[in-house]
Amino acid sequence: MSTGIKVVIVGGLLVAIGTVVILKNGGTSTCCPPTTHPPGGAGLHDEYDEPVQAAPSRSGLPRLVELGSTTCIPCQMMKPILEELTIEYDGRLVVEFVDVHREPKKAERFNIHVIPTQVFLDADGKELFRHEGFFPKEDILAKWAELGFDFAQR
């Protein structure tokens, strides 16, 4: 068998393996769900993507909503951070995780482009800020402080 034929066979196998991996992840790459926005992407505050006005928090507290998936690697990296925030700031901040594959209708309301996406909401449900991708705990707390929320004080 010639070297050229071997290269074609190996290339075909690599494409097949890549296809299986993508299909196993729900037909998407590891962090990007299908978008409902027009090609070219829409910015956070343009005609296609208005800031979210969610239902007011029943607890009267600000909320951090993460939209992600259990199969997304950056989302998996966020999980311990969200758990720490939930425990450390109990009674001062509500942390919520929305699995975009299990709760697509809920995820649609947030007009997300990629996962993970963290949406910062005030107690009235008004979107204050959003971030796409992995977001370290220190940066999350710094952003809340920048938005006027000091969770260190009770």
Q: Domain 31-154: state its class.
A: alpha beta
pLDDT value, residue 3: 78
Domain ranges of the chain: 1-30, 31-154
pTM of the full predicted structure? 0.66
Q: How many CB atoms lie within 10 A of CB 152?
A: 10
pLDDT value, residue 53: 59
Q: What is the pLDDT along the chain (154 residues), one digit of tens a residue?
A: 787 777 667 656 655 665 554 445 444 444 544 333 333 333 333 333 455 556 555 678 999 999 999 999 999 999 999 999 999 999 999 999 999 999 999 999 999 989 999 999 999 999 999 999 999 999 999 999 999 998 876 6
